[in-house]
Amino acid sequence: MIRIEGLRAGYGGRDVLAGIDLRIAPGDMVGLLGPNGAGKTTLLLAATGVLPPSAGRVSLAGRDIASLSARERAKLVAVVPQRAESAGGLTVRTVVRMGRYPYLPFLGGYGEGDAAATKAAMTAVGVAHLADRRMNELSGGEFQRALTARALAQDARAMILDEASASLDMARKMELYGLLAARNAAGTTIVAALHDINLAALFCRRLIFIKNGRIEADGPVAAVFTSQTLSRIYETEILVIAHPKSGLPQALAVPAAPAAGAARNAPGGPGGSGGSGHHG
């Protein structure tokens, strides 16, 4: 679905990506992980044709991205960007409906099918009740969900999400990734950059770790989500345990120095089981 060869890209003449080679198969669900400033957003911007590469090439569904029109590209890939665009005074419904533009007939307007797809997308991410609200009057999480609804309405073959869950609470994260997993089961390729490595381990099949503009680890969750790999990539001690319900790996960070709350909050400690918790 997405093929990246020798990709170098960056800003102001300085390359951030040091030559990335990557293939994402149709129907895969991939988590893109790595420390702050690693190059995840840069990779996604270059992979979607927003940031011109300084070297290498990107193809979508077998076609060079540079040869695709904006409409053709939009039918192949829908993007949920990390940086809040200025959607200003536009309503949520208007922004979500913009996802339908690749299907607009020549000189025609939006039809009933577009209205239905817009409504279905807003309902799916739980922003239907905000349809008439302006984008600049939304909370961070609502704003992110509106942009996700726009990408859903776009009904593209792949969805690329850059930190689309960053402002979401735990329940909304589960909802969003459950929704993405359902889309993926229906055939949509999903690539999501995120910092929540545990969320990635629960929902993605393949994890790609980027660090300093290079791929540091890449493989099925069970192969790469290990204490050794995570500790090396994030340069801090990380333990991996099995999720008690699903058995999937989950990470626990270990504070370098005893955490202030450790004694107080430990079972048996003054604030632990049996204690009332907050004393003064």
- Residue 48 in the binding site for ligand ATP (CB under 6 A): no
Q: Using the rule CB under 6 A, give the single segment among 36-44, 123-131, 182-190, 231-239 that binds ligand ATP.
A: 36-44
Beta pairing, strands 189-193 & 206-211: unpaired
- Residue 195 or 205 having the CB closest to ligand ATP: 195
- Residue 83 in the binding site for ligand ATP (CB under 6 A): no
**Taking the complex as a whole, how short is the minimal distance between the CB of residue 162 and ligand ATP, in angstroms?**
7
- Residue 148 in the binding site for ligand ATP (CB under 6 A): no
Are the C-beta atoms of 164 and 144 separated by less than 8 Å? yes
Q: Distance (Å, rounded) from C-alpha 17 to C-alpha 143?
A: 29
What distances in angstroms separate CA 81 from CA 28, 148, 151, 165, one per listed residue?
20, 9, 10, 11
Query: Considering only CA atoms, which of 126, 54, 129, 50 is closest in space to residue 83?
Result: 50
**Per residue in 230-245, is it b (16+ CB within 10 Å) or e — as a string?**
bbebbeeebebeeeee
Return the C-alpha torsion angle 78, 211, 257, 275, nearest 10: 20
Query: Considering only CA atoms, which of 166, 163, 177 is closest in space to residue 82?
Result: 163
Q: Using the rule CB under 6 A, give the single segment among 35-43, 145-153, 229-237, 251-259 that binds ligand ATP.
A: 35-43
Q: Distance (Å, rounded) from C-alpha 15 to C-alpha 8?
A: 6
Selected from 37, 113, 140, 178, the binder of ligand ATP by CB under 6 A is: 37
- Residue 172 or 195 having the CB closest to ligand ATP: 195
Selected from 38, 80, 176, 199, the binder of ligand ATP by CB under 6 A is: 38
- Residue 40 in the binding site for ligand ATP (CB under 6 A): yes
| N-to-C CA span, the chain | 58
Q: Using the rule CB under 6 A, give the single segment among 38-46, 88-96, 141-149, 239-247 that binds ligand ATP.
A: 38-46
Q: Distance (Å, rounded) from C-alpha 134 to C-alpha 247?
A: 42
Q: Using the rule CB under 6 A, give the single segment among 8-16, 183-191, 234-242, 260-268 that binds ligand ATP.
A: 8-16
Q: Using the rule CB under 6 A, give the single segment among 32-40, 53-61, 68-76, 268-276 that binds ligand ATP.
A: 32-40
- Residue 189 in the binding site for ligand ATP (CB under 6 A): no
**Taking the complex as a whole, how short is the minimal distance between the CB of residue 166 and ligand ATP, in angstroms?**
9
Q: How many residues bind ligand ATP (CB under 6 A)?
A: 11
Q: Using the rule CB under 6 A, give the single segment among 29-37, 215-223, 243-251, 267-275 that binds ligand ATP.
A: 29-37
- Residue 12 or 247 having the CB closest to ligand ATP: 12
- Residue 165 in the binding site for ligand ATP (CB under 6 A): no
Query: Considering only CA atoms, which of 125, 131, 114, 112 is closest in space to residue 182?
Result: 125
**Taking the complex as a whole, how short is the minimal distance between the CB of residue 236 and ligand ATP, in angstroms?**
15
Return the C-alpha torsion angle 110, 113, 114, 119, nearest 10: 140
Residue ranges binding ligand ATP (CB under 6 A): 11-12, 16, 34, 36-42
